[in-house]
């Protein structure tokens, strides 16, 4: 199956009205490409490790619409372009639509959700073999410690440097008695690995509802009992109900593999959930943000224990001062 792709070059201010207008001629949904900076809320809700600075916004936008095509239902591209141009001409009477040119191309039918899997294969993190759920365990690997992982639409395969930094720090500090809180758990990889290495219980939080299903599937794939890993969806920084449910002065270790800009407001919140003497493991920190996160940790009463690096990424591990009481 193939799709006809109609791409309009316009301006960012006209994106919404063009999308709404073209809905009336059968073009539903749009792929938007522009350089508008992300809002603070959008950054907070992303669960990727890396968020590089984007190019300066030039006001240009490309809107792409896809129309399914088959032998039984051919698409008349010329007619569709004429219809699009007619609608754009009408819009020009009262607003700027920019260049307003229409480009036509053809694309194969692609499973956008699963296509990335062809690039993700089994690999090692030190002594841990990470195998995606769609690959089989080789006979020679059956006696190794194996993590089966499928992030689904949540973040966390273990391939990124920031995740590996967290895993190595967790292995240094966890014990069978460890109560773990994983903030921004994504696929659940950090909590699941900690459970595999012997802790008895973990709690994970995430903003993305997709994370709950990803965690459930990965727990099942790795034989983790439901009572061992409790999952909560919500914002622990701003939602008091989530904070209350997570519990105060309860955790031996809190791990957060999130962007530095989120770690700064998160850190004083984490301090309320750590036991006195508890360990806070952070990652997702690009090297030029290291001092910013260090300052936030020290301001929250955490002593820096160790800073580790992999490539341009940094992990900072701290310890909460003993006998610390926080207002709740």
Residues 250-303 have pLDDT tens digits of: 999 999 998 888 899 999 999 999 999 999 999 988 888 999 999 999 999 999
Cα gap 188→14, rounded to integer Å: 40
Alpha-carbon dihedral of residues 237, 189, 193, 250, nearest 10 degrees? 10
Full set of structural domains in the chain with CATH? 2-108 (3.30.70.260), 159-320 (3.40.50.150)
* Per-residue exposure over 72-94, b if at least 16 CB sit within 10 Å of its own CB, e if not: eeebebeebeebbeebbeebeee
Q: DSSP label at 117?
A: G
* Average pLDDT of the chain, as a whole number: 85
pLDDT band (50, 70, 90) for residue 124: confident
Cα dist from 247 to 129, 202, 269, 281, whole Å: 33, 12, 11, 18
Least confidently predicted of 70-74, 241-245, 249-253, 288-292: 70-74
At 225 the pLDDT is 95
Average pLDDT over residues 43-53: 48
User: pLDDT for 154-185, tens place per residue?
Assistant: 455 566 788 899 999 999 999 999 999 999 99
Q: Could you tell me which residues come within 8 angstroms of residue 24 by beta carbon, excluding any fewer than 6 positions away?
A: 87
Question: Span 62-70, mean pLDDT?
Answer: 86
pLDDT number for residue 1:
63
pTM > 0.85: yes or no: no
- Give every CB contact of residue 324 below 8 A, 6+ residues apart in sequence: 271, 276, 301
Residue 186 backbone class (left: φ over 0; alpha: ψ -120 to 50; beta: rest): left
Q: Which residues partner with 7 through β-bridges?
A: 64, 103
Length of the chain: 328
Q: Is 205 left (phi over 0), alpha (psi -120 to 50) or beta?
A: beta
**At residue 316, does pLDDT exceed 90?**
yes
């Amino acid at each position: 199956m193939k799709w006809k792709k109609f791409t309009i070059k316009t301006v960012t201010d006209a994106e919404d009205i063009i999308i709404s207008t073209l809905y009336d001629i059968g073009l539903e949904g749009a792929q938007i490409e522009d350089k508008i900076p992300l809002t603070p809320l959008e950054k907070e809700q992303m669960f990727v490790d890396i968020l590089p600075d984007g190019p300066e916004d030039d006001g240009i936008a490309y809107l792409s619409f896809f129309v399914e095509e088959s032998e039984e239902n051919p698409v008349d591209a010329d007619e569709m372009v004429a219809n699009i141009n007619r609608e754009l001409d009408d819009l020009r009477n009262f607003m700027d639509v920019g260049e307003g040119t229409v480009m036509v191309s053809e694309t194969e039918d692609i499973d956008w959700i699963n296509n990335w899997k062809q690039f993700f294969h089994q690999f090692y993190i030190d002594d841990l073999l990470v195998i995606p759920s769609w690959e089989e365990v080789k006979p020679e690997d059956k006696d190794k410690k194996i993590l089966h992982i499928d992030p689904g639409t949540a973040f966390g395969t273990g391939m990124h440097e920031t995740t590996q930094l967290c895993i190595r720090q967790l292995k240094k500090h966890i014990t069978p008695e460890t109560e773990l809180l994983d903030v921004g758990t994504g696929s659940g990889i950090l909590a699941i690995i900690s459970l595999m290495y012997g802790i008895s219980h973990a709690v994970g939080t995430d903003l993305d509802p997709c994370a709950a299903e990803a965690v459930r599937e990965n727990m099942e794939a790795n034989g983790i009992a439901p009572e061992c890993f409790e999952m909560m969806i919500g914002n622990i920084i701003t939602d008091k109900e989530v904070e209350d449910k997570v519990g105060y002065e309860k955790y031996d270790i809190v791990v957060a593999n999130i962007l530095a800009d989120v770690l700064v407001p998160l850190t004083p919140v984490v301090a309320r959930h750590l036991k006195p003497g508890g360990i806070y493991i952070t990652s997702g920190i690009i090297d030029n943000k290291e001092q910013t996160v260090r300052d936030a940790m020290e301001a929250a009463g955490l002593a820096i224990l160790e800073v580790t690096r992999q490539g341009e990424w940094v992990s900072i591990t701290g310890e909460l001062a003993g006998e610390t009481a926080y207002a709740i």
